[in-house]
Copies of this chain bind each other. A is one copy, B any other.
Protein backbone atom coordinates (compact mmCIF):
# COMPACT_ATOMS: atom_id res chain seq x y z
CA UNK A 1 0.00 0.00 0.00
CA UNK A 2 2.03 2.91 -1.27
CA UNK A 3 0.90 6.35 -2.17
CA UNK A 4 2.41 9.63 -3.22
CA UNK A 5 3.34 11.75 -0.24
CA UNK A 6 0.94 14.64 -0.05
CA UNK A 7 1.66 15.66 3.49
CA UNK A 8 1.18 19.23 4.49
CA UNK A 9 4.76 20.41 4.84
CA UNK A 10 4.13 22.94 7.55
CA UNK A 11 2.15 20.45 9.61
CA UNK A 12 4.82 17.80 9.07
CA UNK A 13 7.55 20.14 10.25
CA UNK A 14 5.57 21.10 13.33
CA UNK A 15 4.87 17.51 14.26
CA UNK A 16 8.37 16.21 13.66
CA UNK A 17 10.25 19.33 14.47
CA UNK A 18 12.37 17.54 17.04
CA UNK A 19 13.63 14.88 14.64
CA UNK A 20 17.39 15.20 14.34
CA UNK A 21 17.23 14.46 10.66
CA UNK A 22 15.30 17.64 9.93
CA UNK A 23 17.13 20.02 12.22
CA UNK A 24 17.65 23.51 10.76
CA UNK A 25 16.38 22.57 7.34
CA UNK A 26 14.36 25.21 5.50
CA UNK A 27 10.76 24.60 4.52
CA UNK A 28 11.86 24.33 0.91
CA UNK A 29 14.45 21.71 1.74
CA UNK A 30 11.98 19.64 3.72
CA UNK A 31 9.51 20.02 0.92
CA UNK A 32 12.04 18.68 -1.54
CA UNK A 33 12.48 15.59 0.62
CA UNK A 34 8.75 15.07 0.88
CA UNK A 35 8.03 15.59 -2.80
CA UNK A 36 10.17 12.68 -3.78
CA UNK A 37 8.94 10.39 -1.03
CA UNK A 38 6.08 7.98 -0.71
CA UNK A 39 3.98 6.90 2.23
CA UNK A 40 3.54 3.22 2.92
CA UNK A 41 0.83 1.81 5.12
CA UNK A 42 2.13 -1.21 6.96
CA UNK A 43 0.54 -3.98 9.01
CA UNK A 44 2.02 -5.59 12.05
CA UNK A 45 4.56 -8.18 11.02
CA UNK A 46 5.18 -6.81 7.53
CA UNK A 47 8.82 -7.06 6.62
CA UNK A 48 9.94 -3.86 4.92
CA UNK A 49 13.58 -4.70 4.35
CA UNK A 50 15.33 -8.05 4.07
CA UNK A 51 18.95 -8.55 5.06
CA UNK A 52 20.97 -8.54 1.85
CA UNK A 53 18.63 -6.16 0.06
CA UNK A 54 20.03 -3.21 -1.76
CA UNK A 55 18.86 -0.24 0.25
CA UNK A 56 16.57 2.01 -1.69
CA UNK A 57 14.94 4.20 0.94
CA UNK A 58 15.39 5.82 4.26
CA UNK A 59 12.42 4.94 6.45
CA UNK A 60 10.87 7.61 8.63
CA UNK A 61 8.10 6.51 10.97
CA UNK A 62 4.99 8.67 10.78
CA UNK A 63 2.88 6.34 12.88
CA UNK A 64 3.38 2.96 14.50
CA UNK A 65 6.67 1.23 15.23
CA UNK A 66 9.44 -0.69 13.52
CA UNK A 67 12.04 -3.17 14.61
CA UNK A 68 15.44 -3.59 13.00
CA UNK A 69 17.01 -6.98 13.46
CA UNK A 70 19.72 -9.31 12.36
CA UNK A 71 19.46 -13.03 11.96
CA UNK A 72 21.99 -15.74 11.38
CA UNK A 73 21.78 -18.73 9.08
CA UNK A 74 19.84 -20.77 11.63
CA UNK A 75 17.08 -18.19 11.80
CA UNK A 76 17.80 -16.94 15.29
CA UNK A 77 17.40 -13.22 15.47
CA UNK A 78 18.38 -10.28 17.64
CA UNK A 79 16.45 -7.09 17.58
CA UNK A 80 18.91 -4.28 17.12
CA UNK A 81 16.68 -1.26 17.51
CA UNK A 82 13.09 -0.65 18.52
CA UNK A 83 11.80 2.44 16.78
CA UNK A 84 8.76 4.62 17.32
CA UNK A 85 7.13 7.64 15.75
CA UNK A 86 9.54 10.28 14.50
CA UNK A 87 12.54 8.00 14.36
CA UNK A 88 14.17 6.74 11.24
CA UNK A 89 16.19 3.77 10.11
CA UNK A 90 18.40 2.66 7.24
CA UNK A 91 20.15 5.98 7.66
CA UNK A 92 23.56 4.55 8.37
CA UNK A 93 23.02 1.74 5.92
CA UNK A 94 22.46 4.17 3.08
CA UNK A 95 25.94 5.53 3.62
CA UNK A 96 27.65 2.18 3.94
CA UNK A 97 27.48 1.52 0.25
CA UNK A 98 26.62 -2.13 0.54
CA UNK A 99 23.58 -4.32 1.00
CA UNK A 100 21.65 -3.96 4.19
CA UNK A 101 23.12 -6.04 7.01
CA UNK A 102 19.80 -5.86 8.80
CA UNK A 103 16.12 -6.56 8.25
CA UNK A 104 13.23 -4.31 9.19
CA UNK A 105 9.78 -5.38 10.37
CA UNK A 106 6.72 -3.48 11.49
CA UNK A 107 6.10 -4.11 15.17
CA UNK A 108 2.69 -2.52 14.90
CA UNK A 109 0.49 -1.16 12.13
CA UNK A 110 1.30 2.35 11.02
CA UNK A 111 2.60 4.60 8.30
CA UNK A 112 6.12 4.96 7.03
CA UNK A 113 7.57 7.75 4.93
CA UNK A 114 9.96 6.26 2.40
CA UNK A 115 12.57 8.76 1.29
CA UNK A 116 14.63 7.50 -1.67
CA UNK A 117 18.27 6.89 -0.84
CA UNK A 118 19.38 9.26 -3.58
CA UNK A 119 17.19 12.01 -2.19
CA UNK A 120 19.05 11.66 1.07
CA UNK A 121 22.53 11.18 -0.30
CA UNK A 122 22.53 13.94 -2.83
CA UNK A 123 21.86 16.90 -0.52
CA UNK A 124 24.34 15.37 1.90
CA UNK A 125 27.08 15.82 -0.64
CA UNK A 126 26.38 19.49 -1.18
CA UNK A 127 24.34 20.76 1.75
CA UNK A 128 26.54 21.00 4.79
CA UNK A 129 23.66 21.56 7.21
CA UNK A 130 22.02 18.37 6.11
CA UNK A 131 25.34 16.53 6.23
CA UNK A 132 25.75 17.63 9.83
CA UNK A 133 22.25 16.40 10.65
CA UNK A 134 23.21 13.01 9.28
CA UNK A 135 26.37 13.09 11.40
CA UNK A 136 24.27 13.82 14.47
CA UNK A 137 21.89 10.97 13.65
CA UNK A 138 24.77 8.54 13.15
CA UNK A 139 26.63 9.64 16.27
CA UNK A 140 23.47 9.14 18.25
CA UNK A 141 22.92 5.63 16.96
CA UNK A 142 26.54 4.82 17.51
CA UNK A 143 26.13 5.80 21.12
CA UNK A 144 22.98 3.71 21.37
CA UNK A 145 24.75 0.67 20.03
CA UNK A 146 27.58 1.12 22.52
CA UNK A 147 25.02 1.22 25.30
CA UNK A 148 23.40 -1.90 23.95
CA UNK A 149 26.75 -3.63 23.68
CA UNK A 150 27.69 -3.11 27.27
CA UNK A 151 24.16 -3.90 28.31
CA UNK A 152 24.32 -7.29 26.69
CA UNK A 153 27.85 -8.14 27.60
CA UNK A 154 28.20 -6.64 31.06
CA UNK A 155 24.87 -6.56 32.78
CA UNK A 156 22.90 -9.43 34.27
CA UNK A 157 19.45 -10.11 32.85
CA UNK A 158 17.58 -8.38 35.61
CA UNK A 159 19.72 -5.29 35.30
CA UNK A 160 19.04 -5.19 31.59
CA UNK A 161 15.31 -5.42 32.22
CA UNK A 162 15.52 -2.78 34.92
CA UNK A 163 17.47 -0.46 32.67
CA UNK A 164 15.01 -0.94 29.85
CA UNK A 165 12.05 -0.24 32.13
CA UNK A 166 13.78 2.84 33.50
CA UNK A 167 14.32 4.20 30.01
CA UNK A 168 10.76 3.41 29.02
CA UNK A 169 9.58 5.23 32.13
CA UNK A 170 11.82 8.25 31.55
CA UNK A 171 10.78 8.43 27.90
CA UNK A 172 7.15 8.82 28.93
CA UNK A 173 5.32 11.18 31.19
CA UNK A 174 7.30 11.12 34.43
CA UNK A 175 4.53 12.73 36.46
CA UNK A 176 2.75 9.55 37.46
CA UNK A 177 4.52 6.36 38.37
CA UNK A 178 2.98 4.44 35.55
CA UNK A 179 3.88 3.64 31.98
CA UNK A 180 3.24 0.99 29.37
CA UNK A 181 5.42 -1.23 27.24
CA UNK A 182 5.35 -0.07 23.66
CA UNK A 183 6.35 -3.41 22.17
CA UNK A 184 5.37 -7.03 22.62
CA UNK A 185 7.25 -8.68 25.42
CA UNK A 186 8.89 -11.18 23.10
CA UNK A 187 10.23 -8.32 20.94
CA UNK A 188 11.65 -6.54 23.96
CA UNK A 189 13.16 -9.77 25.24
CA UNK A 190 15.03 -10.31 21.99
CA UNK A 191 16.15 -6.70 22.00
CA UNK A 192 17.58 -7.27 25.47
CA UNK A 193 19.34 -10.41 24.35
CA UNK A 194 17.29 -12.91 26.31
CA UNK A 195 14.42 -15.31 25.78
CA UNK A 196 10.80 -14.30 26.42
CA UNK A 197 10.73 -16.82 29.27
CA UNK A 198 13.57 -15.17 31.14
CA UNK A 199 12.08 -11.74 30.53
CA UNK A 200 8.83 -12.95 32.03
CA UNK A 201 10.61 -14.43 35.05
CA UNK A 202 12.55 -11.24 35.64
CA UNK A 203 9.38 -9.16 35.60
CA UNK A 204 7.83 -11.56 38.07
CA UNK A 205 10.84 -11.36 40.36
CA UNK A 206 10.73 -7.59 40.28
CA UNK A 207 7.10 -7.78 41.37
CA UNK A 208 7.10 -10.51 43.98
CA UNK A 209 10.59 -10.61 45.40
CA UNK A 210 11.95 -7.12 44.88
CA UNK A 211 8.68 -5.22 45.31
CA UNK A 212 9.68 -2.72 42.67
CA UNK A 213 6.80 -2.74 40.22
CA UNK A 214 3.40 -4.19 39.45
CA UNK A 215 2.77 -5.63 36.03
CA UNK A 216 -0.62 -5.99 34.42
CA UNK A 217 -0.25 -7.00 30.80
CA UNK A 218 1.75 -4.21 29.17
CA UNK A 219 0.99 -1.78 31.98
CA UNK A 220 3.71 -1.16 34.54
CA UNK A 221 3.29 0.74 37.78
CA UNK A 222 6.12 1.65 40.11
CA UNK A 223 5.60 0.60 43.73
CA UNK A 224 7.76 3.46 44.95
CA UNK A 225 8.54 6.56 42.96
CA UNK A 226 12.22 5.62 43.02
CA UNK A 227 11.88 1.92 42.34
CA UNK A 228 14.00 2.06 39.23
CA UNK A 229 16.66 4.51 40.44
CA UNK A 230 19.03 1.66 41.16
CA UNK A 231 19.23 1.01 37.41
CA UNK A 232 20.11 4.57 36.50
CA UNK A 233 23.46 5.52 35.05
CA UNK A 234 25.08 8.71 33.83
CA UNK A 235 23.39 8.40 30.47
CA UNK A 236 19.83 8.03 31.72
CA UNK A 237 20.37 10.51 34.52
CA UNK A 238 20.26 13.46 32.15
CA UNK A 239 16.61 12.98 31.32
CA UNK A 240 15.42 12.28 34.85
CA UNK A 241 13.33 14.92 36.56
CA UNK A 242 14.50 13.73 39.97
CA UNK A 243 18.21 14.08 39.30
CA UNK A 244 18.55 17.08 41.58
CA UNK A 245 17.04 15.41 44.63
CA UNK A 246 19.65 14.82 47.23
CA UNK A 247 19.15 11.10 47.66
CA UNK A 248 20.03 10.46 44.02
CA UNK A 249 22.93 8.06 44.14
CA UNK A 250 24.47 9.56 41.02
CA UNK A 251 25.00 13.05 42.39
CA UNK A 252 28.59 14.14 41.69
Q: Measuring CB to CB, which residues of chain A are less than 8 angstroms from any residue of chain B?
A: 52, 70-73, 76-78, 80, 92-93, 95-96, 98-99, 101-102, 124-128, 131-132, 134-136, 138-143, 145-150, 152-155, 193, 233-235, 238
Contacts and interface: CB of A to CB of B under 8 A. Distances in A.
Contacts of A150: 70, 72, 78, 80
A139 B96 contact: yes
Given A80-B146, A101-B143, A126-B128, A95 B135 contact: yes
Which are the 6 A-B pairs with shortest beta-carbon distances? A131-B131, A138-B138, A95-B139, A145-B145, A92-B142, A70-B150
29 contacts: A52-B234, A70-B150, A70-B154, A72-B154, A72-B155, A72-B233, A78-B149, A80-B146, A80-B149, A92-B139, A92-B143, A93-B139, A95-B135, A95-B138, A96-B140, A96-B142, A98-B238, A101-B235, A124-B131, A124-B132, A125-B128, A128-B128, A131-B132, A131-B135, A135-B135, A142-B142, A148-B149, A149-B152, A152-B152
A138 B149 CA distance: 17
A76 B135 CA distance: 31
B138 A142 contact: yes
A34 B235 CA distance: 33
Chain A interface, DSSP helix/strand/loop, else mixed: helix
A150 B134 CA distance: 24
Given A92-B138, A98-B238, A135-B135, 10 more contacts: A70-B146, A72-B150, A77-B154, A92-B143, A96-B143, A101-B143, A102-B146, A124-B135, A131-B135, A145-B146
Contacts of A152: 149, 152-153, 193
Contact of A153 (B96, B101, B142, B193): B193
A145 B155 CA distance: 18
Nearest to A148: B149
B149 A145 contact: yes
A4 to B, nearest CB: 29
Contacts of A124: 131-132, 135
